[in-house]
A and B are shown apart, each in its own frame.
Chain A
């Protein structure tokens, strides 16, 4: 059964699983370090997210009396598992092509919704009023940022289809760009790119769109009642999500890499760094938006840009 073994490997080791987790935690460490440097601090060690995770695995897990215990404990695992699968769904040009058996863009879109859903359910399952506030904020924010991302994916699919229908496979979109040039350099795709850039920090849950997990307002909202290993699983989930979303951005807009496994992987990592640095810069330089401001923002600019992107693709 080499086919199923390869599938298993791609989910558990590379590019999902262990590799994506290490990459995500590494990016998180770089993010914290760069943020500290931008504030003239020294910052934590680069491996700090790994230390955090090891520590969380050794802490006692507490479940509140008011919580729904099975749901409360199962949700972090569901979230982390969904992201594990999603990490194996995004192709890395010249390095990794996901097996069609895993699914296409639509599956990825559904999987990207799971972390938000998990956070919402976790917030309400914890029985804490802060969790409930986090729930409602997460829901509003998800409603706001999910509509642009649908249009972004549709625009990319249409563009790659080249006039005859929509391409749903991310591998095909990446292959189209390697043949016809990256979407990054395609003026018709620029509005879509901007819409994706706005979606990125919202999905990653960083400032200015970290309203659901704002520790100064709602005490980390849905994560408030979590401790120990389940909290660690949430950290795993968000690290994996960062990798998935950044990989998706690279795949959608500039997948071209040099031939060969190692050069391709190196180029991919080099592309990840400026994107992560951009998110960090945004995080450091901005304050947190109120949830209604974020909601209005997403229904104004990214949605308009994404719609304009589709129009531009359809017209060109």
Chain B
């Protein structure tokens, strides 16, 4: 049983949710997949287009009032077991947008966040580190 768990933990599929991000963190997320230097596929990860296929959710952005409901709905469409990673300081604390009337974050008021990767934006290695931490958590939930 633990073998199956170990084997299945080697296939974490990533899904990005942009909760009103400035796209800085999204670009860094794209580099982890698209730039050969960072190659997140080594960890067995692959970015998938559908929330139904996701295992590790990467959330960027401060959760603006306009996307809040959509993000929450999207999050509920991701099948268990799942792990949430907040990428960048915006989802973690609100960052520079904190206390704005248009921002509902920090995101952990609404969603169970597991790993935080601070940075504005975090460098790709830091994101890889966060994903590696998330895989460890995910393994314990499988």
Contact bitstring A177-202, B, C-beta under 8 A = 1, else 0: 00000000000000000000000000
Q: A231 near B53 (CB under 8 angstroms)?
A: yes
Measured CB to CB, the closest approach of chain A to B26, in angstroms, equals: 14
- Residues of chain A from 43 to 83 with CB closer than 8 A to chain B in the complex: 43-45, 48, 50-52, 54-55, 57-62
Q: A226 near B52 (CB under 8 angstroms)?
A: yes
- A60's nearest neighbour on chain B, judged by CB, is B79
- A213's nearest neighbour on chain B, judged by CB, is B49
3 nearest interchain CB pairs?
A: A215-B49, A55-B8, A227-B52
The interface residues of chain A lying within 8 Å CB-to-CB of B111 are none
**A227→B4 CA distance, assembly (Å):** 19
Task: Report if A62-B77 is in contact (Cβ < 8 Å); known contacts: A54-B11, A219-B50.
Answer: yes
**A59→B49 CA distance, assembly (Å):** 17
Stretch at the interface among A34-42, A163-171, A285-293: A34-42
Stretch at the interface among B38-46, B99-107, B115-123: B38-46
Residue numbers of B with Cβ under 8 A of A are: 4, 7-13, 36, 39, 41-42, 44, 46, 48-50, 52-53, 55, 77, 79-81, 142
| Main SS at interface, chain B | loop
User: Is A223 at the interface (CB under 8 A from chain B)?
Assistant: yes
User: Is A224 at the interface (CB under 8 A from chain B)?
Assistant: yes
Cβ 8 A contact of A60, one of B11, B12, B39, B80: B80
Task: Report if A43-B39 is in contact (Cβ < 8 Å); known contacts: A58-B8, A60-B79.
Answer: yes
**A220→B46 CA distance, assembly (Å):** 13
Measured CB to CB, the closest approach of chain A to B131, in angstroms, equals: 14
User: Is A228 at the interface (CB under 8 A from chain B)?
Assistant: yes
Q: B79 near A43 (CB under 8 angstroms)?
A: no
For A, the interface residue count at a CB cutoff of 8 angstroms equals: 32
Cβ 8 A contact of A36, one of B39, B44, B49, B77: B39
Contact bitstring A207-220, B, C-beta under 8 A = 1, else 0: 00000000110011
The interface residues of chain B lying within 8 Å CB-to-CB of A54 are 4, 7-8, 11
User: Is A138 at the interface (CB under 8 A from chain B)?
Assistant: no
Interface centre among A54, A57, A60 (most CB of B within 10 A): A54
Task: Report if A51-B49 is in contact (Cβ < 8 Å); known contacts: A41-B39, A58-B4, A60-B80.
Answer: no
Q: List 25 A-B contacts (CB under 8 A).
A: A40-B36, A41-B41, A41-B42, A42-B42, A43-B41, A44-B42, A44-B44, A44-B46, A45-B44, A48-B10, A52-B13, A54-B8, A55-B8, A58-B4, A59-B80, A61-B79, A219-B50, A220-B53, A223-B50, A223-B53, A224-B52, A225-B52, A227-B53, A227-B79, A231-B52
